[in-house]
């Protein structure tokens, strides 16, 4: 291929433009209702404060930045529309309010839609550290598997009763389905 020399100034300019693009993306996602031109100006001002007024750096062009911001805002809106349709329109807010349910003495088995979470908590406690060493990790999992197989055998041979499952949950509100 053809050899092209890249000067240090070109590399710095690209790095600054990449940094500015990342800031534009971050700020546009957190700036509901802020005009794209304002987001670009705020990010440019932040970059000038960081690198100096007369640094001579080439910033991400305003027209391109506004296009990026509009595309991100469109994606954010599409996600928000999906979220509202899937969750907010389907289930009333009273179904989401765990604190309110607890205050009303509604028995809650899981506070998460991830049924493996309690097992995860138990294993984390068993490991004794958030990131155990691999040998400790394997030994704990082997012991857990052995305990589970023993429990299954004990239930099968009627030496032990199956573990109790939570009583069925009765919603205080009826989910609205579309």
pLDDT (tens digit per residue) in 76-97: 888 888 988 888 887 776 666 6
Give tens-digit pLDDT for 5-53.
444 455 455 677 788 888 888 888 776 677 888 888 898 888 888 877 7
Q: What is the mean pLDDT of residues 141-149?
A: 88
Q: Is the pTM of this model over 0.85?
A: no
Q: Is the pLDDT of residue 67 over 80?
A: yes
Q: What is the DSSP string of the chain?
A: -------HHHHHHHHHHHHHHHHHHHHHHH-TT--HHHHHHHHHHHHHHHH-TT--PPPPPHHHHHHHHHHHHHHHHHHHHHHIIIIITTS-HHHH-HHHHHHTT---S-SSS-TTHHHHHHHHHHHSSSS--HHHHHHHHHHHHHHHHHHHHHHHTTSSPPPPPPPPP--SSPPP--
Q: Which of 7-11, 75-79, 157-161, 166-170 has the lowest mean pLDDT?
A: 7-11
């Amino acid at each position: 291929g053809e050899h092209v020399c890249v000067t240090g100034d070109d590399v710095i300019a690209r790095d600054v433009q990449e940094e500015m693009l990342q800031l534009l993306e971050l700020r546009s996602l957190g700036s509901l209702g802020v005009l794209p031109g304002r987001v670009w100006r705020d990010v440019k001002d932040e970059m000038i404060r960081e690198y100096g007024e007369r640094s001579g750096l080439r910033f991400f062009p305003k027209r391109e930045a506004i296009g990026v911001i509009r595309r991100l805002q469109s994606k954010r809106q599409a996600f928000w529309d999906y979220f509202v349709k899937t969750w907010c329109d389907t289930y009333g807010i009273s179904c989401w309010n765990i604190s309110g349910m607890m205050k009303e003495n509604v028995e809650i088995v899981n506070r998460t839609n991830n049924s493996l979470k309690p097992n995860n908590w138990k294993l984390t406690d068993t490991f004794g550290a958030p990131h155990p060493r691999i040998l400790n990790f394997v030994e704990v999992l082997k012991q857990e598997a052995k305990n589970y197989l023993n429990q299954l055998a004990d239930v099968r041979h009627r030496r032990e009763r199956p573990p109790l499952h939570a009583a069925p949950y009765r919603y205080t509100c009826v989910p609205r389905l579309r």
